[in-house]
Amino acid sequence: MQNENNYILFVILSGVIAMAFAFWKTSWINRQKEGNERMQFIGKSIADGAMAFLRAEYRILAVFVVAVAFILGYANSGRSDSSALISLSFIVGASASGLAGFLGMRVATKANNRTTHAAETSLAKALNVAFSGGAVMGLSVVGLGVLGLGILFYVYKSMEIFNNDTSMILNVLSGFSLGASSIALFARVGGGIYTKAADVGADLVGKVESGIPEDHPLNPATIADNVGDNVGDVAGMGADLFESYVGSIIGSMVLGSTLFAYGVGFDISFVILPLVIAGAGIIVSIIGTFMVSVKDGGDPQKGLNQGEFGSGIIMVAVIYFLITSLLPEKFTTQEGAGVTYDSLGVFYATIIGLFGGLGIGKITEYYTGTGTKPVMSITKQSMTGPATNIIAGLGIGMESTAVPVIIISGSIMGAYHFAGLYGIAMAALGMLANTGIQLAVDAYGPISDNAGGIAEMAELPKEVRERTDKLDAVGNTTAAIGKGFAIGSAALTALALFAAFKVKTGIDIINISDPMVMAGLFIGGMLPFLFSSMAMGAVGRAAMAMIEEVRRQFKEIPELKKALEIMNLKKREDWSEEDNKVYNDALGKAEHGKCVEISTESAIREMLLPGLLAVVTPVVVGFAPRMFGSNQGPEILGGLLAGVTVTGVCMAIFQSNSGGAWDNAKKMIEEGVEIDGQKLSKGSEAHKAAVVGDTVGDPFKDTSGPSLNILIKLMSVVSLVIAPLIK
Indicate the SS3 state at residue 221.
coil
One of 103, 239, 421, 546 touching a second copy (CB under 8 A): 421
- Pairing state between β 330-332 and 340-342: antiparallel
Q: Are 643 and 525 in contact (CB under 8 A)?
A: yes
- The least CB distance from residue 141 to a second copy, in Å, is 28
- The least CB distance from residue 354 to a second copy, in Å, is 18
State the Cα–Cα distance between residues 158 and 152, nearest whole angstrom.
Answer: 10
Where does this chain touch a second copy (CB under 8 A) — which range of 69-77, 341-349, 533-541, 574-582? 533-541
392 in contact with a second copy (CB under 8 A): yes
Kindly compute the dihedral angle of the four CA atoms of residues 47, 305, 469, 119, in this order, to the nearest 10 degrees: 70
Nearer Cβ to a second copy (109/257): 257
Indicate the SS3 state at residue 678.
strand
617 in contact with a second copy (CB under 8 A): no
185 in contact with a second copy (CB under 8 A): no
647 in contact with a second copy (CB under 8 A): yes
510 in contact with a second copy (CB under 8 A): yes
One of 145, 236, 281, 639 touching a second copy (CB under 8 A): 639
**159 phi and psi, to 5 degrees?**
-80, 135
One of 642, 715, 720, 721 touching a second copy (CB under 8 A): 642
Nearer Cβ to a second copy (78/336): 336
- The least CB distance from residue 164 to a second copy, in Å, is 29
- The least CB distance from residue 436 to a second copy, in Å, is 29
Q: Are 431 and 438 in contact (CB under 8 A)?
A: no
One of 519, 545, 608, 612 touching a second copy (CB under 8 A): 519
Other Cβ atoms less than 10 A from the Cβ of 377: the count is 17
198 in contact with a second copy (CB under 8 A): no
- The least CB distance from residue 522 to a second copy, in Å, is 5
One of 540, 589, 597, 687 touching a second copy (CB under 8 A): 540
- The least CB distance from residue 184 to a second copy, in Å, is 22
Nearer Cβ to a second copy (106/701): 701
State the Cα–Cα distance between residues 3 and 146, nearest whole angstrom.
Answer: 19
638 in contact with a second copy (CB under 8 A): yes
609 in contact with a second copy (CB under 8 A): no
Angle of helix 123-158 versus helix 462-505 axis, rounded to 10: 20
654 in contact with a second copy (CB under 8 A): yes
254 in contact with a second copy (CB under 8 A): no
410 in contact with a second copy (CB under 8 A): yes
Q: Report the alpha-carbon angle 388-528-479, nearest 5.
A: 70
- Pairing state between β 678-679 and 340-342: unpaired
- The least CB distance from residue 637 to a second copy, in Å, is 12
Indicate the SS3 state at residue 326.
helix
- The least CB distance from residue 45 to a second copy, in Å, is 27
Nearer Cβ to a second copy (318/517): 517
Site for a second copy in 541-600 (CB under 8 A): 543-544, 547
Nearer Cβ to a second copy (91/200): 200
Site for a second copy in 118-157 (CB under 8 A): none
**Rounded alpha-carbon distances, angstroms, from residue 468 to 171, 231, 471, 724:** 47, 20, 5, 52
- The least CB distance from residue 412 to a second copy, in Å, is 5
Nearer Cβ to a second copy (324/384): 384
419 in contact with a second copy (CB under 8 A): no
603 in contact with a second copy (CB under 8 A): no
Kindly compute the dihedral angle of the four CA atoms of residues 697, 701, 702, 703, in this order, to the nearest 10 degrees: 90
State the Cα–Cα distance between residues 310 and 717, nearest whole angstrom.
Answer: 33
One of 135, 315, 327, 646 touching a second copy (CB under 8 A): 646
424 in contact with a second copy (CB under 8 A): yes
**220 phi and psi, to 5 degrees?**
-60, -20
- The least CB distance from residue 325 to a second copy, in Å, is 27
- The least CB distance from residue 169 to a second copy, in Å, is 24
Angle of helix 373-381 versus helix 685-699 axis, rounded to 10: 120
State the Cα–Cα distance between residues 563 and 686, nearest whole angstrom.
Answer: 30
- The least CB distance from residue 528 to a second copy, in Å, is 8
One of 181, 285, 438, 532 touching a second copy (CB under 8 A): 532
- The least CB distance from residue 519 to a second copy, in Å, is 4
Q: Using CB under 8 A, count the residues that bind a second copy.
A: 78
One of 62, 66, 313, 402 touching a second copy (CB under 8 A): 402
DSSP assignment string, 600-628: HHHHHHHHHHHHHHHHHHHHHHHHHHHHT
One of 150, 484, 525, 611 touching a second copy (CB under 8 A): 525
**309 phi and psi, to 5 degrees?**
-75, -40
Site for a second copy in 205-234 (CB under 8 A): 208
620 in contact with a second copy (CB under 8 A): no
Site for a second copy in 693-722 (CB under 8 A): 695-696, 699
Contacts of 570 (CB under 8 A, 6+ apart): 579
End-to-end CA distance of the chain: 32
Nearer Cβ to a second copy (138/648): 648
DSSP assignment string, 72-131: HHHHHHTT-TTGGGHHHHHHHHHHHHHHHHHHHHHHHHHHHHHHHHHHHH-HHHHHHHHH
Binding mask 667-696 for a second copy (x = CB under 8 A): ------------------------xx--xx
Site for a second copy in 62-121 (CB under 8 A): none
**22 phi and psi, to 5 degrees?**
-60, -40
Buried b (16+ CB within 10 A) or exposed e, 471-500: bbebbbbbbbbbbbbbbbbbbbbbbbbbbb
One of 42, 283, 408, 460 touching a second copy (CB under 8 A): 408
366 in contact with a second copy (CB under 8 A): no
- The least CB distance from residue 142 to a second copy, in Å, is 28
**Rounded alpha-carbon distances, angstroms, from residue 611 to 38, 453, 464, 621, 646:** 39, 31, 40, 16, 19
Asked whether the CA dihedral 210, 211, 214, 217 is positive or negative, the reply is negative
634 in contact with a second copy (CB under 8 A): no
One of 310, 369, 395, 593 touching a second copy (CB under 8 A): 395
Nearer Cβ to a second copy (224/539): 539
